[in-house]
Chains A and B, each alone.
Chain A
Amino acid sequence: MLPFIFAVFVPILYKMFTPRVHTGWFVFFVPLLIFSYLITFIPTIANGNTIITSIPWMPSYDINFTTYIDGLSLIFGLLITGIGALVILYSIFYLSKEREALHNFYVYLLMFMGAMLGLVFSDNVFVLYVFWEMTSVSSFLLIAYWYEREKSRYGAQKSMLITIFGGLAMLAGLVMITSSSETYSIREMLLNVDAIYASALFIPAMVLILLGAFTKSAQFPFSIWLPDAMEAPTPISAYLHSATMVKAGIYLVARLTPVFGGSNVWFWLVTGVGLITLLYGSVNAVRQTDLKALLAYSTISQLGLIMSLLGLGSAAMYFGLGDEIAIYGTAIFAAIFHLVNHSTFKGSLFMVVGIIDHETGTRDIRRLGGLIHLMPISFTLTVIGGFSMAGLPPFNGFLSKEMFFAAVNNAAKMDFFHMGTIGVLIPVVAWIASVFTFIYCMILVFKTFRGKYKLDKSRVVHEAPLGMLISPIILGSLVIIGFFFPNLLSNYLLKPALTSILPVLSEAEVLELKIEAWHGFLNPELWMTIGVVVLGTILYLNLRKWYRIYNSYPQSLTINNLYNLALDKMENISGSITNFYMTGFIRDYLVYILGFMILVVGGSIWLFDGVSFDSSNDAPVTLFEIAIMIVAVVSAVFVLFSKTRLTSIVSVGALGFLVAFFFVLFRAPDLALTQLVVETVTTALFLLCFYHLPQLRKEKSRIPFKLTNAIISIGAGAVVTIVALSVNGNRLFDSISSYYENAYELAGAKNIVNSILVDFRGIDTMLEILVLSIAGLGVYSLIKLRLAKEGSDERAE
């Protein structure tokens, strides 16, 4: 966790040394240190051992910070730190120390690196999720590094929305899978696979987790955020959007293959989406005119390739040991191999593009050309990277592409998962995508460096400084080394990773054979590659003739457009929904509240058959009471139909006095007294208000009748009556009031009500006094306090 700790110190170092030393130098040693530390694990891992350390974090929830190092996580760890170190080295020369806010840059970068390392090494799924979101957040910060540009902010927001959406889906999936496997640890899940399969949550969990992986790894149709993330500084694009973050989804899929791999849904989803992404990315890459956008789409397409290989390989889980497993093992092996290769050549390509941008001031293919003599080293590096991406012989991309073709060919031959004729499509799609890959690689290499020099002559274009070139040179040489000595890499790193993805493959001899057999000539894969080269060359040379096809594709049907439209519509719709029910009128809200009250209370009474009616315990009725009741009803109804406000005030006052009468009848002298006084004062206040009515619209009218109001109010009244009656009919236990009849013995008072108020339940009274005083203060301040502005438009008294 060194990166996080160090990130704290970056701003301090920045402030201390800025004018003299580039902050990046301090940061540089961090990944280097981790990288060399991780290298020491290689022998252990190569011997088939794993390393587990655990730090308790939330032991009561059984969530611990467990790191688990096996072949797969080691590969990722080495990639992250290795390319991280190179990217930092590159950024030291790429970013100006005077003009840029370097401390922000390196803090975010270290945060990202730490999160990414945590992601690949953690064994606990929730810790993994925490780091997963941390990569999203730090990537968001890095994309919007030049936050004053609008496009940066747009790209950052888009990637944030999409990856967080996937992350949350993944969290749901993880919760499901932990509930069915009853463990948070990925290792222990593997031991409990049967329970996971048996669970009803198996498919939803898988789909949700895959959603997370697909959004993160920019798979179709969630790939749209990646091209827009190219607004980030180039070192970031090289690091996050080609080598590390986008591989987090790949990592997750690979990591969980032993758990889900045996299912055919997993196979079809991963393979299918991977292939679609592969085709989509490569076809779209050809039409790009911005170099970084081209590389972004090529990243998408290569990620699709890796994803589809992982999908094909998961079939191995289904078949168990045998001949087939060797064949599908190849697919997984190719996936890991290509993963490493892609990180090397894509990283170097991004860096070269950054150099071109830095030296010429543009990344537009249409304006570039003829740089071959001006920038020979960059050209060589582009050739290495581009040809490797296209899958040409002397580079490592060739090997992984051959293995890819082998895997798809095998998949087509195998009849499984009711594949039938669809299976034949797999190699066809893969082949077409490879042709497109070839074309855009050629565009990348030749349109940039060959042809006429088109730029403004005044600008002196020259080779980049050596410091900037170090990192791409190292990566470029790795590309070549990867071709000539693949077994070195595979024996130490790839095989342990393979066994950690496919634990069923413990028989090492099967693997041993395959990896040595990479020099099998005259196999169909070689001819496929030759076909790719031939057709690709033909198409590239005639680019102008068929390029117009792209323009005929309607712009409004792109996924990007769909995304923007959806975002807009979502805002509009939620806005109009809010405007629809938030009318701003008090009456409407009251209608909602009362409507719900009627619905809920009345509805539950109706549903649970709560109406019961029992008047046997009622007190007897006297004529006098009936008379008062009738008068009360009449006076209340009178309020409704009175034409003037004065009559309604008077009838409400009358109602109040009648209530006082009721209190007398019901043997409540204190209440009657209070009620009389209060009613008098209230009526006086009403009259005060009435007197000060505005002069403007003093029309004295009846209340206009409104049906909805009538329905609501009658409904509410009916509900109250029904509730009252039902309660009255179902007394569960006697009152506790008999206790208060000891008032004299306990409190020395003969008036029970008063002793309750001041003795038994005195706190109520105290607070009631408080209410009265607050109201008094409120009235006073309402009348006395006037803001200056308010006073000006106040009407004269």
Chain B
Amino acid sequence: METLMSILVGILFAIGIYLILTKTLLRIILGTSILGHGVNLLIITMGGLEKGGPPLLGIKGLTYVDSLPQALLLTAIVINFATTALFLVLSYRAYKVLGTDDTRSLRGKSDG
């Protein structure tokens, strides 16, 4: 399962990066979003996917799933959300002020 997950993570990374390298702002943010999913899955995969009970002590099981990556991920998801929201609003503002969503045309004034 871990092997397959690793491959899936690789695919998500590749697609996310490809999107980031395009020129439309919205696609770049979509790319970061996919990249974020890839990272999240990578973290939980690296924590090990052995079967066990969910990390709730109330449930009587012999073993539990590793709880630490889950806690880390919860933090990561929230932070990812915060930055994505900020970036989206930022690009929304950029649309309104600059009238474009093409990073190629997002250049400062030339020097001098």
Cβ–Cβ contact B12 & A688, under 8 A:
no
A489: CB under 8 A from chain B? no
Provide the B66-98 mask, 1 if CB < 8 A to any CB of A, else 0.
111011011101111111111011111101110
Q: Within the complex, which residue of B29, B34, B58, B79 is in contact with A636, where a contact is CB–CB below 8 Å?
A: B34
Within 8 A of B (CB), among A743-768: 743-744, 749-753, 756-757, 761, 764-765, 768
Of A3-11, A431-439, A538-546, A637-645, the segment with at least 4 beta carbons within 8 Å of chain B is A637-645
Cβ–Cβ contact A671 & B73, under 8 A:
yes
Provide the B1-34 mask, 1 if CB < 8 A to any CB of A, else 0.
1111111111111111111111100111110011
Cβ–Cβ contact A768 & B57, under 8 A:
no
Cβ–Cβ contact B8 & A629, under 8 A:
yes
Q: Which residues on B sit within 8 Å (CB–CB) of A724?
A: 6, 9-10, 42, 45-46
Q: Which residues on A sit within 8 Å (CB–CB) of B5?
A: 629
Cβ–Cβ contact B74 & A753, under 8 A:
yes
Quote the shortest CB–CB distance from B16 to chain A (angstroms).
8
Whole-angstrom CA separation of A652 from B27 in the bound complex: 10
Cβ–Cβ contact B6 & A752, under 8 A:
no
Cβ–Cβ contact B50 & A619, under 8 A:
yes
Cβ–Cβ contact B11 & A636, under 8 A:
yes
Cβ-closest 4 pairs across A and B: A717-B14, A721-B10, A775-B82, A752-B55
Given contacts A714-B14, A775-B82, contact A667 B21 (CB under 8 A): no
Most A-side CB within 10 Å, residue of B18, B53, B75, B104: B18
A26: CB under 8 A from chain B? no
Whole-angstrom CA separation of A617 from B20 in the bound complex: 35
Cβ–Cβ contact B67 & A740, under 8 A:
yes
Cβ–Cβ contact B15 & A640, under 8 A:
yes
Most B-side CB within 10 Å, residue of A666, A688, A709, A727: A666
Cβ–Cβ contact B7 & A721, under 8 A:
yes
Given contacts A671-B77, A741-B64, contact A716 B108 (CB under 8 A): no
Given contacts A584-B108, A625-B1, A779-B85, contact A671 B19 (CB under 8 A): no
Q: Which residues on B sit within 8 Å (CB–CB) of A621?
A: 1, 4
Whole-angstrom CA separation of A768 from B79 in the bound complex: 6
Whole-angstrom CA separation of A588 from B74 in the bound complex: 33
Cβ–Cβ contact B4 & A667, under 8 A:
no
Q: Which residues on A sit within 8 Å (CB–CB) of B51?
A: 619-620, 667
Cβ–Cβ contact A662 & B41, under 8 A:
yes
Q: Which residues on B sit within 8 Å (CB–CB) of A783?
A: 89, 93
A157: CB under 8 A from chain B? no
8 more A-B residue pairs beyond the given contacts A629-B5, A681-B85, with a C-beta to C-beta distance below 8 A:
A632-B12, A668-B44, A721-B7, A750-B57, A752-B67, A753-B67, A753-B71, A783-B89
Interface residues of B (CB under 8 A from A): 1-23, 26-30, 33-34, 37-38, 40-42, 44-58, 64-68, 70-71, 73-75, 77-86, 88-93, 95-97, 99-104, 106-108
A697: CB under 8 A from chain B? yes
A670: CB under 8 A from chain B? yes
Whole-angstrom CA separation of A639 from B5 in the bound complex: 20
Quote the shortest CB–CB distance from B65 to chain A (angstroms).
4
Cβ–Cβ contact A692 & B2, under 8 A:
no
Cβ–Cβ contact B21 & A590, under 8 A:
yes
10 contacts between A and B (CB under 8 A): A590-B21, A656-B37, A713-B15, A713-B18, A737-B67, A750-B56, A753-B67, A753-B70, A768-B79, A782-B90
Quote the shortest CB–CB distance from B97 to chain A (angstroms).
6
Given contacts A752-B57, A795-B99, contact A674 B74 (CB under 8 A): yes
User: For residue B93, which residue of chain A has the nearest CB?
Assistant: A782
Q: Within the complex, which residue of B16, B27, B54, B78 is in contact with A669, where a contact is CB–CB below 8 Å?
A: B54
Cβ–Cβ contact B75 & A727, under 8 A:
no
A633: CB under 8 A from chain B? yes
Quote the shortest CB–CB distance from A602 to chain B (angstroms).
13
Quote the shortest CB–CB distance from A740 to chain B (angstroms).
5
Cβ–Cβ contact B18 & A689, under 8 A:
no
Quote the shortest CB–CB distance from A265 to chain B (angstroms).
48
User: For residue B73, which residue of chain A has the nearest CB?
Assistant: A671
Whole-angstrom CA separation of A321 from B27 in the bound complex: 84
A15: CB under 8 A from chain B? no
A195: CB under 8 A from chain B? no
Q: Which residues on B sit within 8 Å (CB–CB) of A764?
A: 75
A725: CB under 8 A from chain B? yes
A418: CB under 8 A from chain B? no
Q: Which residues on B sit within 8 Å (CB–CB) of A744?
A: 57
User: For residue B57, which residue of chain A has the nearest CB?
Assistant: A750
Cβ–Cβ contact A618 & B2, under 8 A:
yes
Quote the shortest CB–CB distance from B100 to chain A (angstroms).
6
Cβ–Cβ contact A735 & B47, under 8 A:
yes
Given contacts A652-B34, A659-B41, A670-B74, contact A682 B85 (CB under 8 A): yes
Whole-angstrom CA separation of A408 from B52 in the bound complex: 95
Cβ–Cβ contact B91 & A626, under 8 A:
no
Quote the shortest CB–CB distance from B72 to chain A (angstroms).
8
A148: CB under 8 A from chain B? no
A21: CB under 8 A from chain B? no
Cβ–Cβ contact B3 & A725, under 8 A:
yes
Whole-angstrom CA separation of A617 from B54 in the bound complex: 19
Whole-angstrom CA separation of A618 from B18 in the bound complex: 30
Given contacts A629-B8, A795-B99, contact A618 B1 (CB under 8 A): yes
User: For residue A625, which residue of chain B has the nearest CB?
Assistant: B1
Given contacts A690-B26, A721-B10, A751-B55, contact A771 B44 (CB under 8 A): no
Quote the shortest CB–CB distance from B2 to chain A (angstroms).
5
Given contacts A639-B34, A663-B44, contact A585 B11 (CB under 8 A): no
Provide the A299-336 mask, 1 if CB < 8 A to any CB of B, else 0.
00000000000000000000000000000000000000
Given contacts A674-B78, A685-B85, A778-B86, contact A709 B26 (CB under 8 A): no
